[in-house]
Chains A and B, each alone.
Chain A
Amino acid sequence: MTAEGRRRRAVWQILLFSAGLLVLTVISAGSVYLVNKARDDNKWVVHTLEVENQLNTLLLEIRRAESGARGYLLTQEPNFKADHDKAVAAIVPALDRITRLTGDNPAQRESIEKLSAAIETRLAQFSQEMVYVRQGQVDKAAALVREAAAVDTTSLISSVAGAMIQEEERLFRLRTTNADRSQTFAASMTGIGSGLVVLLAAISIWLVRRSAQARDDAEARLRDANVNLEAIVDERTGDLREANDEIQRFAYIVSHDLRSPLVNIMGFTSELEELGKDIFRRIGGLTGVPAGGPPVDVAEIPLKDADKQMSADFSEALGFIKSSIARMDRLISAILNLTREGRREFQPERIDTRDFIEAIVSSLAHQAAEAQAEIHIEPLPNIVSDRLALEQIFSNLIDNAIKYLKNGVPGEIRIRGRTKLGYAIFEISDNGRGIDSRDHQRIFDLFRRAGTQDKPGQGIGLAHVRALVRRLGGTMSVSSELNAGSTFTITLPINWNASNRNADR
């Protein structure tokens, strides 16, 4: 799985999630809106039904008043009168309610006005009838009834009310349809939305499962790679170890075998030297003794100028050969010592660093006094390491610090220590002549030195120290400027144990 593919899939997931969220929001908003609309529609349906109901009630009350009035007219029984009065009392409130309910519909309002007028006329007739009946003028009342029938106030009321009822029924149908449509719409919207959400969820699940699969694959590959890596590291370590051993053996054998011819060169050069002396003595004997004179001891005969020169050249040549051999021998010895050090097994032990350093410093006290150097030892962390190796490291560094002080300036050498993350860090600083930053790497190379060459030395110390520090699992570095002193920093594991290095060997 490429990085591009991973990125694309992540984008897809975000898009899907956003789409799902959007759909849910739309569905929710739509549902709320549609539910509200359905409720409104239903309210209107109920409203229509109520109007119808009220209209019917009104008509009923008018009928009741009519029949009550007629009954009273025929029989003059107060029962009918009461009935009629009750009905009449109910008519006006019913009419008022209808007026209020239909206030929103202009067509119905017109009808209501007509209806009100007719009802008022009818009510007036009723009260007139009642007055006549009470006065006993039943004929007049009957005439009025007939007149009302003739003018057809009652049927007018009926027809207007009927029209209104029809109107309301039309509205009822219309509103019912509306309400139904709203509900259907809401239902289908919820249905489609849910389907969409389910679909998006399914796609998401599929994507998640696919990336989980990819992750599992990657993990498996990583595990394989780790296992492989370990095997490779083991293999390489083995190779390195072998190569290192090979180099050690090689250096050892080479330096030995180089030494053998050197013994001959040196030996026969010395023989030649002796021979040369003899030869020049003989020359002197041959040329310097006057013929016929008494025999003289050859050693005492002075050479002539040309022969003297020849003798001097001879000695000079031999001198160069001998000093070169001596130098070569020292180098070979140094290599031998280094390889021997490299093959030595370290023995870790607990070291009281302060006592240890003090012992080294006191063994160098003579040199320090000669160089007018003061050595300060600050608190040092104790460590577990190889005593001999540490001794070589510190005595080399302190010895160097004493050796390369500035002429005429009292030396001040400080040894500091601290710990950090399982490592002990030691610093050996001086106020000596310092090292040019160009030479910071060079001073650690075998047989290389830096600065003024006014002190004896082979250029081995620091190379050796660094090799030891590395073998002890540490690092070392220098910070210095010319004429401004040097600080050598050594970082060593606080607990060096044989397994992390000796096991390698």
Chain B
Amino acid sequence: MIDLTAKKKLNLDDFDLSSGDEMKGRSLWVDARIRYAKNKMASICLFVLILICIFSIFGNFFAAFSIEEIDWAVLGMTYEKGYPSLETGHYFGTDEMGRDLYARVVQGSRISLAVGFIGAIISTFVGTIYGAISGYIGGRVDGLMMRIVDILIAIPFMFVLILFLVVFGRSILMIFVGIALFSWLGMARVARGQTMTLKNKEFIEAARATGVSQFTIVIRHIVPNLLGIVIVYGSLMIPGFIMAESFISFLGLGVQEPNTSWGALISEGAGTMTYGTIWQLAFPLFFFTVTMFCFYFIGDGLRDAFDPKDR
């Protein structure tokens, strides 16, 4: 009982209106951040992911070798001399050609993460705008725009992407373009669905009544309200992009030497594991799996943080 009254008094003090203070409102973002922080697994994963990003950005300052430098002392004797060791400067060992694996993993992480993030940014941008316009205008335009999405989404994109890479030359830029071409489709559907529920709300009506142009309504009023769901969906797409790039690089159709990516490194490691040089598989595999794991839980945490169902 005593506790209760004490609490009540405290609350009354908080609401002291005479001083003219207003209680600070909590925006969706603050709300989401608080809920995200409560999810321990998601918070840890975010921390680990940030560490991996830092590793990929600054890791090369600690590398004793560059990505293409061949250590002639090791070449041909990878199993005997190329193992991971602090003394030789090859922290992660060397690959089959005597190149420093640490430097290559840093480089690979850079490319793989870049593909994930840039892919997500492009597809989120295009998909949201496309979906918002389609959903807002509605009617025949919407029907046509969504049929286009239906048709494109049914194309087995990995085949076309490989075709694309073969025709226009294998480069990381082509992978970006190819992934961007197909990845916005799902986002467009999500954004359209959400726009349909938004467009009859009062604040949109108010905007229309005051004579705001259609385009401005979409950009200023619809899109900001889509951001929650778009961020959740976008974060869930990142691992897909990283996997797609790794898949293609694994097949040898992606990044070009001397550049590399997780997929290419895993492929090299898998090719040489019969010689006992297991570290060539282990290090890239470790980074790849841990990152995938982190994205999985971060996406999960974001969904819980933004999902209005749980409120």
Say whether A associates with B: no
Measured CB to CB, the residues of A under 8 A from B are none
On B, residues with C-beta under 8 Å from A are none
